[in-house]
A and B are shown apart, each in its own frame.
Chain A
Amino acid sequence: MNNKVISGPHLVATRRVNDIMRQVIIALAPSAAFGVFLFGWPALYLLVITICSALAFEACCLRLKGVVATPHLRDGSAIVTGLLVAMTLPPWAPWWIAVTGAAIAIILGKHVYGGLGQNLFNPAMLARVALLISFPIEMTTWINVTPLFTGPGILDSLNLTFSGLDNADGITGATTLGMVKTGFSQNQFLPDSLNHYSGFLAFIGWERGSLGETSTLLLLIGGFGLLRKGIIKWHIPASLLATVFVLSSVFHLVNSARYLSPWVELNSGALMLVAFFIATDYVTSPNTALGELLFGMGCGILIFVIRAWGGYPEGTGFAILLMNAITPLIDHYIRPRIYGRYRDGKPLDISPQ
């Protein structure tokens, strides 16, 4: 019999950190797989390189800290980070973008702060924004849809990933948001930029974009899966999407030549990925339901503002990082009300009924 004195509870729930990470990977899988299908072998290589280097950097950091790496690697958090980084990269990005991205995410995004659970910023978003600022060309070279087996073959793709993309012009173009931004800079109004836009294709993801962001449909499926399993709560995605929806509706109604319709906004860029998989990141989002609603709302406002008036076509990365920075503040001010007390912590008045 056990002779230690142990405090309760003597039962624990069966969900562990690695179960959570596994569920997240499963929820991301359809969208990632679709990205591979949509953009061919180079996308697959990119995915593999990012995940492997994320694991490698994680192992190195853990070793430097002097802990045995294997059990920590098994918790799956590095795989999730790697996967998310890959999903936000242009699908034919060269290998060194992938490795640098993984390095930024794991080393700067996570271990500099002390490892799992300690970081202030979402590692994947940090990597994306850092890459975007450092390597703007590579990070905005969008490949046309080239479904698997119609593009370069297995070996050609290897060459492409490891020695870079030449003669890119023929097969690249801008994303919807990029097109619109460029259109504005040339004093073009929306209808011209959106000549070839198909809402349906955007919804299923048949368009240019990052590896895993294009399909609103598949990301929604994954996101709802996480909601159903209770891995994430509804507060952040709902308030984020609702905020973007409301803001874009209002502005679109006022000036439909200048502002995108809510339908285009919701279908574009990393919005769905961010709403369900990035903004909901446990570590960098608030702890309370009200805090989460505010956080989602803040993200939504910033995304809309950057997209509508900022210098970049896509605003999700910056918006998330800014809100991450505010999270501790939100957590400081927004706390649950304690039973039997007012919000300010004073006991309820005693008033016999």
Chain B
Amino acid sequence: MLAFLENPRLRGGIHAEEHKQLTTDKTIIKDFPLPKKLYIPVQQHVGKPAEPIVKVGERVYKGQLLAYSQGTISAPIHAPTSGKIIDVKDFPAPHPSVLPVRTVILESDGQEEWLQKHPAIDPFSLNPEEICTKVGEAGVVGLGGAVFPSAVKLNLGRKNQIHTLLINAGECEPYLTCDDRLMQEHAEEIVTGIRIMLHGMGAPKALVGIEDNKPEAFLAMQNASKAFPHISIEKVPTRYPMGWDRQMLRYLTGLEIPADGRATDIGVVVHNVATARAVYQAICLGQPLISRIVTVSGGAVAHPANLEIPIGTLISEVLAFCGADKAKIQRLVMGGPMMGDALPHAEVPVVKACNGILALSSQEIEEPSTKACIRCSSCVTVCPVGLLPLEMVSRIRVNQLDAAVDLGLKDCINCGSCSYICPSNIPLVHYFKFASGELVKRQQAEHKSEQTNRLINDRNQRMERIRLEAEAEAQKAQEARAARLAQQAAAQAAKESA
């Protein structure tokens, strides 16, 4: 009955100022000068960190395994170039907290000497399992920013009945154009990658969703996939967060992923478009994931560009190459401006998750002065998930986290649409992240107190047992004494009567 009020295919979202014109017509720069030192964190994916297997002083080839994956959800790390390992130590990672993580530091020798040349193979002669294994060995992870190990997803798909592979080419974040350029310049490789993925999962068809603000990429992809009718290239409206795979999935297929489920539960696997190309490179070229395409943009950058950058390059070097004016940088962001992380400084490496480096100037960043909520409900209208941001915030403000959870706090994807639109400049997402953090802390505290309670309980039980045992002992002793006394008395009586 209520369905007519909601567009079943598209809900919420915003149309942010795009800023894509800065880089959208610039060819990807492939000859980024090789840095002297590369800083390669062993944790560049969701899941367990990889375990380094190289020793300090060792010489490595380009593409050589530096750290192997551990556990079921993990990905290996490879050398982006040839050179010498000069250290394996903790080094700041590109994260708002810049917490140090274990990092392999490689001094390049400028030789770019590959580990070995792979013989050309026909990817379709491999069986699906081999494809998954090879993708896993190449360290391919989701390149849209979520960095989920791709092989794990392919394997999940292989084991489930998959009817659709959804390729997310939305690239809805303002400023970012790396996927757009990739499709314009490497459509064929992407399509091959998609075909390999389909083969690897035994899935019948693929949908590629491209926002309609990228007509050239759309055309290129359409041309490249002409011969493959089971790959269809679809236009989706330009509306952030179209790159949220669940939004795109609903738009293109009308399917909705259950709140506590995965895409595979409804027969779909979603991969980012750049991941498809990485799969191509892994299978057809035998090349592990050692570089990625990054959009460098923002008002403080003199030459905004899309660059192919070796993993491990310091962001400061990338910025220097693009002519960023340090004095003008008001905020440095890794990723897009909507969901990206603000970095405190640029001495951190480019990692697999890094699809954008934005040096935003003060003209682009407004230091918000927050006003009272006027209950305009814009935040409700734009929320793609269907939450009530203003209500959640009013609960969080008075520390009623449970009430906020009841309103759907845990379903929030932190897409930032609500903060973006709020005319009172209330940092809604900030509140949500804070509240989620508090919930985690509280859970941990609860866990701890539970454990303490258990220990106390155990101890009490033990004491009780000891007490009971002692009592039983005493009882026994007493009984024995009574018996003895009775015996003596009986003996006495017998003596007396005798």
Interface residues of A (CB under 8 A from B): 1-13, 15-17, 19-20, 71, 75, 77, 115-118, 233, 282-283, 286-290, 293, 331, 335-341, 343, 345, 347-353
A8 pairs with B372, CB closer than 8 A: no
Given A5-B96, A339-B386, A340-B246; A350-B258 close (CB under 8 Å): yes
Question: Closest CB of chain B to A176's CB: distance in Å?
Answer: 34
B266 pairs with A350, CB closer than 8 A: yes
Count class of interface residues, chain B: 35 or more
- A/B interface sample: 14 pairs, CB < 8 A: A2-B342, A3-B344, A6-B96, A8-B339, A11-B17, A13-B421, A20-B423, A283-B375, A287-B388, A335-B388, A336-B387, A337-B386, A339-B385, A352-B266
Task: Decide if B331 is an interface residue (CB 8 Å cutoff).
Answer: yes
A12 pairs with B419, CB closer than 8 A: yes
Report A-chain residues with C-beta under 8 Å of the C-beta of B416: 8-9
Interface string of B248-284 (1 = CB under 8 A from A): 0010000111111100011100000000000000000
CA–CA, A75 and B419, complex, Å = 19
B329 pairs with A282, CB closer than 8 A: no
B17 pairs with A336, CB closer than 8 A: no
Report A-chain residues with C-beta under 8 Å of the C-beta of B380: 287-288, 336
Task: Decide if B425 is an interface residue (CB 8 Å cutoff).
Answer: yes
Report A-chain residues with C-beta under 8 Å of the C-beta of B6: 336-337
CA–CA, A8 and B418, complex, Å = 11
B331 pairs with A2, CB closer than 8 A: yes
Give the residues from 323 to 360 in chain B that come closer than 8 angstroms, CB to CB, to chain A: 326, 329-333, 337-342, 344-345, 358, 360
A338 pairs with B259, CB closer than 8 A: yes
Give the residues from 232 to 250 in chain B that come closer than 8 angstroms, CB to CB, to chain A: 246, 250
Report B-chain residues with C-beta under 8 Å of the C-beta of A19: 423
A12 pairs with B266, CB closer than 8 A: no
Report A-chain residues with C-beta under 8 Å of the C-beta of B342: 2, 4-8, 10
Report B-chain residues with C-beta under 8 Å of the C-beta of A117: 372-375
B16 pairs with A13, CB closer than 8 A: yes
Give the residues from 1 to 39 in chain B that come closer than 8 angstroms, CB to CB, to chain A: 2, 5-6, 11, 14, 16-17
CA–CA, A20 and B424, complex, Å = 10
B261 pairs with A282, CB closer than 8 A: no
CA–CA, A351 and B163, complex, Å = 13
Task: Please give me the residue from chain A that is nearest to B268 by CB atom.
Answer: A353
Task: Please give me the residue from chain A that is nearest to B371 by CB atom.
Answer: A17
B258 pairs with A349, CB closer than 8 A: yes
CA–CA, A352 and B408, complex, Å = 25
CA–CA, A331 and B424, complex, Å = 21
A338 pairs with B385, CB closer than 8 A: yes
CA–CA, A325 and B237, complex, Å = 39
Of the listed residues A13, A331, A353, the one surrounded by the most CB atoms of chain B closer than 10 A to its CB is: A13
CA–CA, A16 and B386, complex, Å = 23
Task: Please give me the residue from chain B that is nearest to A343 by CB atom.
Answer: B2
CA–CA, A233 and B257, complex, Å = 30
Report A-chain residues with C-beta under 8 Å of the C-beta of B385: 338-339
Contact of A7 among B2, B377, B427 (CB under 8 A): B427
Given A117-B375, A339-B411; A13-B260 close (CB under 8 Å): no
Given A2-B330, A353-B267; A13-B258 close (CB under 8 Å): no
Contact of B420 among A7, A12, A20 (CB under 8 A): A12
A339 pairs with B341, CB closer than 8 A: no
Question: Closest CB of chain A to B297's CB: distance in Å?
Answer: 12
Report A-chain residues with C-beta under 8 Å of the C-beta of B14: 13
Task: Decide if B49 is an interface residue (CB 8 Å cutoff).
Answer: no
Interface residues of B (CB under 8 A from A): 2, 5-6, 11, 14, 16-17, 96-97, 160-161, 163, 174, 246, 250, 255-261, 265-267, 326, 329-333, 337-342, 344-345, 358, 360, 364-366, 368-369, 371-377, 380-381, 383-388, 390-391, 408, 411, 414, 416, 419-425, 427, 429-430, 433
Question: Closest CB of chain B to A1's CB: distance in Å?
Answer: 5
Question: Closest CB of chain A to B11's CB: distance in Å?
Answer: 8
B96 pairs with A9, CB closer than 8 A: no
B256 pairs with A339, CB closer than 8 A: yes
Task: Please give me the residue from chain B that is nearest to A284 by CB atom.
Answer: B375
Task: Please give me the residue from chain B that is nearest to A3 by CB atom.
Answer: B344
B337 pairs with A11, CB closer than 8 A: yes
CA–CA, A65 and B268, complex, Å = 56
List 20 extra interface pairs beyond A117-B372, A339-B385, CB under 8 A: A1-B345, A5-B342, A8-B337, A8-B429, A11-B17, A13-B14, A13-B422, A15-B421, A17-B371, A20-B374, A115-B372, A116-B371, A283-B374, A290-B2, A290-B5, A336-B383, A339-B384, A350-B258, A352-B161, A353-B163
Report B-chain residues with C-beta under 8 Å of the C-beta of A287: 375, 377, 380, 388, 390-391
Task: Please give me the residue from chain A that is nearest to B410 by CB atom.
Answer: A338
Given A12-B419, A17-B371; A339-B425 close (CB under 8 Å): no
Contact of B265 among A115, A343, A352 (CB under 8 A): A352
B265 pairs with A7, CB closer than 8 A: no
A5 pairs with B420, CB closer than 8 A: no
Report B-chain residues with C-beta under 8 Å of the C-beta of A341: 258-259, 411
Task: Please give me the residue from chain A that is nearest to B265 by CB atom.
Answer: A350
CA–CA, A118 and B373, complex, Å = 8
Report B-chain residues with C-beta under 8 Å of the C-beta of A233: 381
Task: Please give me the residue from chain A that is nearest to B327 by CB atom.
Answer: A1
Report A-chain residues with C-beta under 8 Å of the C-beta of B386: 336-339
Report A-chain residues with C-beta under 8 Å of the C-beta of B368: 12
Report B-chain residues with C-beta under 8 Å of the C-beta of A2: 330-332, 342, 344
CA–CA, A117 and B391, complex, Å = 12
Report A-chain residues with C-beta under 8 Å of the C-beta of B255: 353
Task: Please give me the residue from chain A that is nearest to B360 by CB atom.
Answer: A10
CA–CA, A8 and B341, complex, Å = 7
Report B-chain residues with C-beta under 8 Å of the C-beta of A343: 2
Report B-chain residues with C-beta under 8 Å of the C-beta of A340: 246, 256-261, 411
B261 pairs with A350, CB closer than 8 A: yes
Task: Please give me the residue from chain A that is nearest to B421 by CB atom.
Answer: A13
B375 pairs with A352, CB closer than 8 A: no
Report A-chain residues with C-beta under 8 Å of the C-beta of B5: 289-290, 293
Question: Closest CB of chain A to B349's CB: distance in Å?
Answer: 18
CA–CA, A19 and B341, complex, Å = 29
Question: Closest CB of chain B to A253's CB: distance in Å?
Answer: 28
Report B-chain residues with C-beta under 8 Å of the C-beta of A352: 160-161, 265-267
Contact of B408 among A1, A8, A118, A338 (CB under 8 A): A338
CA–CA, A75 and B369, complex, Å = 12
Of the listed residues A288, A290, A339, the one surrounded by the most CB atoms of chain B closer than 10 A to its CB is: A339
CA–CA, A117 and B160, complex, Å = 50
CA–CA, A204 and B111, complex, Å = 83
